[in-house]
Amino acid sequence: MDINHAGEKIDQIKQKDILGRSVTEIFPGIRENGLFEVFQSVWKTGKPEILQASVYSDSRIRGWRESRVYKLPSGEIVELYEDVSAQMNAEEERHAMELQLQRAQKMETIGLMAGGIAHDLNNILSAIVGYPELLLLQLSPENELRKPLGAIKSAGERAATIVEDLLTVARGVANAKNSADLNILIEEYLESLEFYQLQERFPNIRFERDFIQDIPAILCSPVHVKKCIMNLATNGAEAIEIRGSVTFATRSCTPDTDWLKNHGLEKTRYIVLTINDTGTGIGEKDLKHIFEPFYTKKVMGKMSGTGLGLSVVWNTMKDHGGAVFVSSDAGGTMFELYFPIADELQDSQKVTTDHTSLQGSGEKILVVDDEPQQRDLARKMLEHFGYTVASRSSGEDAISYLQDNHADVILLDMLMDPGINGRETYRLIKDMKPRQKAIIASGYSDNIDVQETILMGAGKYIKKPYAMLELAKAVQQELQRG
């Protein structure tokens, strides 16, 4: 029957265009936002009602409205309403910021937890992985002890991957990055034991490839990228109820500036890995939380996972200067991983993997670690490769030893208690011996400490628990480094 000037402005409509017409014809969205029901109730009861702030939307306008509805003595229904879009949008932004803060605090809590346990736990796992490896070298191929020793070693390696997931989520691990072909990394996963086991679990699922050829290299930590691929492939397979497919696709793209700005990415060329499944999809409510640590909808004992898989993906992509995006509906879920291409291809040295070619010539290695078992294990591994080994339990003892002795390479733990840490130890050693070579070894270390130690002149970083060949390669490369 009437509308005032404020109503015309709010709803972008003229009085002359609506007089005499049905309210649901002019404002069809009142059925969905509940206002029409309030009109009916007030008409019947004559009692005023308030419709709290809610979204009104139709093909013409959209915004937040707060309404008060009355019935006049003469019988007409009157609505007084206010456009509260600005206040509600500000509230939504504040809520979004609170959620981001909560997520950051959650990540920080996990980081503290990981930092507190990972160093000690990885020292324990070093023994579980390392001693069986030493024993297996002494046994003949037909010895019946090889199988149980192999099982112990494999169990330790699996436990180490769980710790590594925690560290990746906490983003407290320093990972060396090399140029790699993403297509090859996917193929290596598709030839792995983990993938064969996934195929055995889901024989009715097809795993398909759609790669671009001559793909530019990405600068990455191959181990962590393959872990992302494995996590997403497993999630995709478990989302399919009976039959379906999981497709791995790669492409190259240069997103437009606005898109990059909105997602906090640098303007450069990206290689995109898409992993698409034909499963049941992820609900909108869950989609907002899937990258949070320990958030999982899987039934424990029936499906794999600890609730860390997608957090590992998210943190890995952040660490690589990229991003991960997800979209989902009833037809399936698609993850897109954006990797910046490598600035330049790095010539990777051909590294031999047989024990003979990694043999030393009696060079002196100083092992500095606060764990007696870790010192003993490193000594036996290095002696197996022909090195002469000395060991010390603290940074202070190492400095005292080097005042009167020589070491070709120091194998240096980054976290030692009590006493000075590895970074400070190396700084003081460099004051005495500016050309001293060193390898950093740790189960958990702050990126800043590792990076600063490398900047001071240390070479390779290896993560505990390390394998014999990994340690031997690191020592050989450090000895050959100028």
Residue 427 burial class via C-beta count within 10 angstroms: exposed 0-12, middle 13-18, buried 19 and up:
middle
* Per-residue model confidence as pLDDT tens digits over 369-386: 998 988 999 999 999 999
Any idea which fold 5-83 has? Beta-Lactamase (3.30.450)
pLDDT of residue 396: 95
pLDDT of residue 449: 82
Q: Is the peptide bond before 465 cis (omega within 30 degrees of 0)?
A: yes
Nearest to 71 by CA among 50, 51, 42, 49: 42
Average pLDDT over residues 151-171: 73
CB 324 within 8 A of CB 317: yes
- What is the torsional sign of CA 301, 307, 313, 316? negative
* Per-residue model confidence as pLDDT tens digits over 428-460: 999 999 999 999 988 765 567 888 888 899 988
Residue with tokens 């609170």: 98
Residue 45 has pLDDT above 50, yes or no: yes
pLDDT of residue 115: 62
Query: Distance between CA 129 and CA 465 in Å, rounded?
Result: 7
Residue 295 has pLDDT above 80, yes or no: no
Could you tell me the CATH superfamily of domain 178-340? Histidine kinase-like ATPase, C-terminal domain (3.30.565.10)
461-463 and 409-413 as β-strands: parallel, antiparallel, unpaired? unpaired
* Per-residue model confidence as pLDDT tens digits over 182-231: 999 999 999 888 899 999 999 999 999 999 988 899 988 888 898 899 99
* Per-residue model confidence as pLDDT tens digits over 312-327: 888 888 888 888 999 9
pLDDT of residue 129: 87
Average pLDDT over residues 78-86: 90
List the domain boundaries for the chain.
5-83, 96-170, 178-340, 356-480
Any idea which fold 356-480 has? Rossmann fold (3.40.50)
Residues listed for the chain: 482
Residue 97 banded pLDDT, cuts 50, 70, 90: confident
pTM of the entire structure?
0.52
DSSP state for residue 72 in the 8-state scheme: -
Residue 414 banded pLDDT, cuts 50, 70, 90: confident
Q: Reduce the DSSP state of residue 18 to 3 states and report it.
A: coil
pLDDT of residue 347: 39
Return the CATH number of 96-170, one of 1.10.287.130, 3.30.499.10, 1.10.3230.20, 3.75.10.10: 1.10.287.130
pLDDT of residue 222: 85
Q: How far is CA 364 from CA 53, 99, 188, 392, 453, in A?
A: 75, 53, 37, 13, 21
